[in-house]
Amino acid sequence: MTSTIKADLILVHAPAIYDFRNRDDFVLGWYSSQESSNVTPIFEMHPLGFLSIKSFLAERGLDVKIVNVASLMLKHPTLDVEKLFAHLDAPIFGIDLHWLPHCQGSIEVAGVLKKVHPDSFVTFGGIISTYYAREMMQYPQIDGVIRGYDTLEPLADLVGQVKRGVRGRFNVENLVYKDKGEVIDNGHSYTPEVLNDVAIDWSKMFPKTSSLLNMPNLMVLPNTGCQQSCGWCSGSRWAYQRMMNVDKKTVFHRRSEQLAREITTFPKTESPLSVYTLQAYSESAPRILDYLKAVQDSGVVKSVSFEQFRLTKPSVLEKMREVAPDLDIFINLSPQSHDVEISRLSGRGTYTNEEMESWMADAMDIGIKGVYLWYTIGMQKQTYKSVMDTVDYTARLMEKFPDDKIVPTIFGMVPFLDPGCQWFEESDQHGYTVFHRDLETHRKALTSPRWRDAMNYETNWMKRDEFLPATYDAMQAMANHKADFGRITPRSIKIVNQRIDHLRYLTSEVDRAYDTIGHLPDSLRREIGRHNDEILSYAADVALVKKPLSGRWYDDHTVPADIIAACSRESQAA
Ligand code: SF4
């Protein structure tokens, strides 16, 4: 008999688009924000919060399992998701809708879950769920939403009550839910001072790795919220004050003891670990140094990356090297544009290019291993020309820093400007036009055959029709500069050029088909299908390396092989 996955709560991560397999009516490569045109990370990576929930509820005696449906669908292309759900057994299921590009997939997957488990409670959480909490009650497959930047206590309460058989009138803070068809809003009163007061247990998260291509990456989130108010960010101070029921305090840190505890659970793997430290710009220097020392002392990590808002003082960089002499330290900066006025309008612009270049030279001398620079298309006052000027600037930068320690990347803010951010909420005042406002419109937009219809915004400086050409031109030109300066291999740049050229061609063919005959001809559908298969076969992150579609930490190891076999066509045929 096939086994069953039983738990008090099963967390399900849906792909961005369900069912993305065998779709030939829209082009998946449009949704990539990388020059590789790769999209798999937006499908398979679930929020870190899943892992915090698992650890926190375990401390309350509640058993939580994670089923990463997106990852399983990639690894097992014939997996029948409905059959898979029949092997799950829980009184309550939790689905993440944290990032808007997941709205189509998460709502559809909730529908499949509800069909298979009509008596189980289906609840949602995440930033976008918080923003659309009441609107989400319109979907029959969604029973509840827990609002907030930290839902650990309310979720533990909800799971405990459901486990005891409660099915209505829940005593759970931040919960919006339906009780016999009536929408009940418990408000948004749970706003803890300390974020996620638990340590993730990483010790069982990794498979044994055998290849450097499979080098595991893990992430640490030391805080949430932000002191800054970048107008395009729904995690900003401005957005938190309107969405998260908070006032002056808009950054919520985890306790240092929990971070230290978490680091002690990093496992020893065959390949060295790489740690990405999210939101490090909201950390004080002493906390960063304590954290780095703990990572160094773990003895299992090779490299650590930090996001920084300002240019970190050289004296702090020196101390970072001192406390972590064995670690490769990488810094991520996001100036957004080479044009300081555009950079400033985007919420950045705290340094000039000259200051940044001088700082990078100092950082290299101190022993910082590398600096990643991130530029974004979709900012205020940014035109096509300005975007291409940014690309030219980065070419000069790579020439000036000839080793491969300075790596620029540019991507388009597509397809969505996040609801909740200032430019979305006050679009007219900031030069933005917003086309989709509610959740249902966004859900439908994600599978639009024409990419311009998927986009929810344009700016006074760039219309919807200009975004994709600008993104392709900028990503391709920058990738070729990277190849010229040795940041990309000749083989990779060949693939990048082929893919972007092909995407341009597909985009114009789709537009032409709709303009002339009003639908996609079969021959074009076949071509789109082949393109989508190719895109999905790459599990690269930013670098274009073909990795096996398995064996990474966000793959799920809780689903036994016999269940996969029972739900996959190829095994049944064998
Ligand atoms: S984009 Fe700006 S506002 Fe948003 S988290 Fe980063 S620094 Fe803060």
Percent of the chain at pLDDT > 90 equals 73
CA of 37 to the centre of ligand 1 (A): 25
Task: Please give the pLDDT value at position 123.
Answer: 98
C-alpha–C-alpha distance, residues 296 and 233, integer Å: 32
15-19, 50-54, 321-325, 539-543: the lowest-pLDDT one = 539-543
Closest ligand 1 atom to 226 CA: 8
Mutate which of 98, 99, 228 for ligand 1? The one with the most ligand atoms within 8 Å of its CB, which is 228
Task: Please give the pLDDT value at position 352.
Answer: 96
C-alpha–C-alpha distance, residues 226 and 6, integer Å: 38
C-alpha–C-alpha distance, residues 116 and 108, integer Å: 13
Taking 3-state DSSP, the helix, strand and coil percentages for the chain, each rounded to the nearest 5, stand at 45, 15, 40
Per-residue buried b or exposed e for 182-197, using 16+ beta carbons within 10 Å of the residue's own CB: eeeebebebbeeebbb
Task: Please give the pLDDT value at position 574.
Answer: 42
Closest ligand 1 atom to 309 CA: 7
Average pLDDT over residues 440-465: 94
126-130, 318-322, 346-350: the lowest-pLDDT one = 346-350
195-209, 233-247, 387-401: the lowest-pLDDT one = 195-209
SS3 96: strand
Task: Please give the pLDDT value at position 384.
Answer: 97
- Cα–Cα separations (whole angstroms), residue 413 to 100, 220, 378, 426: 12, 24, 6, 18
C-alpha–C-alpha distance, residues 373 and 480, integer Å: 16
DSSP class per residue in 40-68 = HHHHHPPPTHHHHHHHHHHHTT--EEEEE
Closest ligand 1 atom to 279 CA: 5
Task: Please give the pLDDT value at position 268.
Answer: 82
Q: Above 70 in pLDDT, residue 308?
A: yes
User: 34: pLDDT confidence band, cut at 50, 70 and 90?
Assistant: low
Residue nearest (by alpha carbon) to ligand 1 atom 7? 228
Cis peptide bond N-terminal to 19, omega within 30: yes
Residue 309 CA, chain-centre distance (Å), reads 19
∠12-103-75 over CA atoms, to 5°? 50
Average pLDDT over residues 273-299: 93
C-alpha–C-alpha distance, residues 380 and 349, integer Å: 13
Neighbours of 353 (CB within 10 A): 15
CA of 104 to the centre of ligand 1 (A): 25
40-49, 144-153, 166-175, 477-486: the lowest-pLDDT one = 40-49
Percent of the chain at pLDDT > 70 equals 92
CA of 417 to the centre of ligand 1 (A): 14
SS3 335: strand
CA of 571 to the centre of ligand 1 (A): 46
Closest ligand 1 atom to 227 CA: 8
Tokens of 292: 């780095």
Domain boundaries along the sequence of the chain: 5-147+152-189+552-573
Average pLDDT over residues 46-56: 91
Average pLDDT over residues 1-19: 91
Q: Above 60 in pLDDT, residue 342?
A: yes
Q: Above 80 in pLDDT, residue 270?
A: no
Task: Please give the pLDDT value at position 248.
Answer: 95
Closest ligand 1 atom to 236 CA: 3
Task: Please give the pLDDT value at position 548.
Answer: 45
CA of 235 to the centre of ligand 1 (A): 6
**263 CB contacts (<8 Å, ≥6 apart)?**
220, 291, 294, 295, 297, 298
Mutate which of 226, 240, 343 for ligand 1? The one with the most ligand atoms within 8 Å of its CB, which is 226
pLDDT in tens, 469-480: 999 999 999 999
Closest ligand 1 atom to 234 CA: 4
Task: Please give the pLDDT value at position 33.
Answer: 62
In whole numbers, what is the pLDDT of the chain averaged over residues?
90
CA of 499 to the centre of ligand 1 (A): 31
CA of 438 to the centre of ligand 1 (A): 23
C-alpha–C-alpha distance, residues 457 and 464, integer Å: 7
Average pLDDT over residues 261-278: 87
Closest ligand 1 atom to 347 CA: 2
251-253 and 223-225: which strand pairing? antiparallel
CA of 522 to the centre of ligand 1 (A): 44
Closest ligand 1 atom to 238 CA: 3
Residue nearest (by alpha carbon) to ligand 1 atom 3? 236
pLDDT in tens, 88-133: 999 999 999 998 989 999 999 999 999 999 999 999 999 999 999 9
H or E stretch including 363? helix 353-366
Tokens of 489: 């291999």
Kindly give the residue spans of alpha helices, DSSP state H, lying in 430-521: 439-445, 451-454, 464-484, 490-516
**Which of the 8 DSSP states describes residue 253?**
E
90-104, 261-275, 474-488, 560-574: the lowest-pLDDT one = 560-574
C-alpha–C-alpha distance, residues 72 and 564, integer Å: 9
CA of 262 to the centre of ligand 1 (A): 25
Average pLDDT over residues 24-33: 81
C-alpha–C-alpha distance, residues 502 and 508, integer Å: 10
CA of 413 to the centre of ligand 1 (A): 14
Task: Please state the φ and ψ torsions of residue 558, each to the nearest 5 degrees.
Answer: -90, -10
Task: Please give the pLDDT value at position 216.
Answer: 58
Mutate which of 233, 237, 252, 423 for ligand 1? The one with the most ligand atoms within 8 Å of its CB, which is 233
Task: Please give the pLDDT value at position 570.
Answer: 60
Closest ligand 1 atom to 233 CA: 4
Task: Please give the pLDDT value at position 552.
Answer: 46
Mutate which of 223, 229, 230 for ligand 1? The one with the most ligand atoms within 8 Å of its CB, which is 230
Closest ligand 1 atom to 239 CA: 3
Closest ligand 1 atom to 229 CA: 3
CA of 383 to the centre of ligand 1 (A): 22
| Contact (CB, 8 A) for 129 and 97 | yes
Cis peptide bond N-terminal to 415, omega within 30: yes
User: 209: pLDDT confidence band, cut at 50, 70 and 90?
Assistant: low
C-alpha–C-alpha distance, residues 563 and 30, integer Å: 33
CA of 282 to the centre of ligand 1 (A): 9
CATH 3.40.50.300 fits 5-147+152-189+552-573, yes or no: no
Task: Please give the pLDDT value at position 538.
Answer: 62
Task: Please give the pLDDT value at position 432.
Answer: 98
CA of 231 to the centre of ligand 1 (A): 9
Partner residues linked to 252 by β-bridges: 224
Residue nearest (by alpha carbon) to ligand 1 atom 2? 230
Task: Please state the φ and ψ torsions of residue 233, each to the nearest 5 degrees.
Answer: -115, 125
Q: Which residues line ligand 1 (CB under 6 A)?
A: 226, 228-230, 233, 235-236, 281, 309, 347
Q: Please say whether the dihedral angle defined by the alpha carbons of residues 175, 177, 180 and 181, taken in this order, is positive or negative.
A: positive
User: 542: pLDDT confidence band, cut at 50, 70 and 90?
Assistant: very low
195-209, 312-326, 505-519: the lowest-pLDDT one = 195-209
| Contact (CB, 8 A) for 532 and 503 | no
**164 CB contacts (<8 Å, ≥6 apart)?**
none
CA of 277 to the centre of ligand 1 (A): 14
C-alpha–C-alpha distance, residues 561 and 574, integer Å: 15
CA of 465 to the centre of ligand 1 (A): 27
Task: Please give the pLDDT value at position 556.
Answer: 54
